[in-house]
Amino acid sequence: MAVNLYASFTRSSISTIRLSPKLYSPVKTHFQVSRGLLFSPLTPALKLKITSTRGFCTVCSYKNNTPQESSRKDSGLNWRILKRWDVPWNWQTISLTSLACGLSFVLTGLIEAAAFQYSGLNIEELSLDEKAEILLVDQGIATIVVLAVLYSLTKSFSPLPDDIYRYDWREPFNLEKGWLLWAGIGLGGALAAVAVTGTAMSFFNGEPPQRETDALVRLLPLIGSSSISTASLVGITGILAPILEETVFRGFFMVSLTKWLPTPLSVLVSAAVFAAAHLTPGQFPQLFVLGTALGFSYAQTRNLLAPITIHAFWNSGVILLLTFLQLQGYDIKELLQAY
């Protein structure tokens, strides 16, 4: 029947009919058929809807989905963790912004070092608490500068999609996108995966890598020295660093990669860049595993609070654990070297 209807429409696009016996003259009525509508014997039931205005009659055909068909359509593969972001910028913006963020971080450190020399302040003569406070201020300035560069280079694409640069405190325990729930899941998975990775590395390498250039090793004199030093280190590693690194590596870089790569592959690539950026080759496998957990938690929740929370608990937990062991009389440098 649908085929006959289509044939009658194509033979004549204009027909003359009487719309009502109350009208004294015939009315020319235009029938319009959408180009995208294909009639076929295999097409499911189509409903015909006729609406009329003064002198015109419009015929609309649409598919009448049954509840069973709608439920089958909605039951398809629709995992949040596999969805890509709607990235508004191109590769030139990604390259320029990534380079600008890296340069701004390095230049900020160089400018601060030059400022200390120009002021005549001797870092070696400062107390441990003063050094810790200076490190906190240094990290705070670097965080502000890099994020300002990042946002200034991408603000021209405003308004951005809702799931880019998203920090949402609502629904922390939502099963699908709860940032605190998935932060706990990601943290547990990261701890287990890093432990397995460390054990595998010790088994295959035989001897643990040297960590003399590790940033954590350089902070050892400050760990456990006083409550001020501990609070400053927790502020650096547990607040400022997670906000900066997760916004740059997950919020911008990983999201940008999904413009061309599937989301799981974007997670892995961004995790590799994240691990390499720490400049500790001996810890690359563990950092890569941690970066992968951070990326998948963000892909699931589309909320930067999830990876920031994992990162914060990871870093501050290490500082607090080492502080506790230091106060108990353990040689934490030897423990770190064994790890």
What residue segments make up the domains of the chain, in order of their start?
2-65, 81-338
Q: Hey, what's the torsion of the CAs at 82, 85, 86, 91, to 10 degrees?
A: -110
Cα end-to-end distance, the chain, whole Å: 76
DSSP strands (E only) in the chain: 14-17, 27-30, 46-53, 56-63
Cβ–Cβ under 8 Å, residues 220 and 332? yes
Q: What is the pLDDT of residue 329?
A: 84
Q: What is the pLDDT of residue 204?
A: 80
Tens of pLDDT along 302-320? 999 999 999 999 999 999 9
Cα–Cα distance measured from residue 254 to residue 284, given in angstroms and rounded to the nearest whole number: 18
Q: DSSP characters for 257-270? A: HTTTS-HHHHHHHH
Amino acid letter, 50: I
Query: Which one, of 120, 136, 119, lies nearest residue 232 by Cα?
Result: 136
Contacting residues for 146 by C-beta, under 8 A, at least 6 apart = 101, 104, 105, 108, 244, 248
Q: Could you tell me which residues are beta bridge partners of residue 61?
A: 48
Divide the 339 residues of the chain into consecutive groups of 10 and give the mean pLDDT of each group.
45 42 44 45 45 49 48 55 95 96 96 88 87 95 97 94 95 95 97 92 69 67 89 95 98 97 97 94 92 97 98 95 87 71
Cα–Cα distance measured from residue 29 to residue 13, given in angstroms and rounded to the nearest whole number: 9
Cα–Cα distance measured from residue 147 to residue 104, given in angstroms and rounded to the nearest whole number: 10
Kindly state the DSSP code that residue 280 receives in the 8-state scheme.
-
Q: What is the pLDDT of residue 332?
A: 80
Phi, then psi, of 59 in degrees rounded to 5:
-105, 125
SS3 6: helix
Q: What is the pLDDT of residue 26?
A: 47
Cβ–Cβ under 8 Å, residues 172 and 178? yes
Cβ–Cβ under 8 Å, residues 135 and 236? yes
Cβ–Cβ under 8 Å, residues 267 and 295? yes
Hey, CA dihedral for 245, 247, 248, 251, is it positive or negative?
positive
The pTM for the full model equals 0.76
Contacting residues for 34 by C-beta, under 8 A, at least 6 apart = 61
Count of positions (residues) in the chain: 339
Cα–Cα distance measured from residue 239 to residue 242, given in angstroms and rounded to the nearest whole number: 6
Cα–Cα distance measured from residue 323 to residue 132, given in angstroms and rounded to the nearest whole number: 14
SS3 297: helix
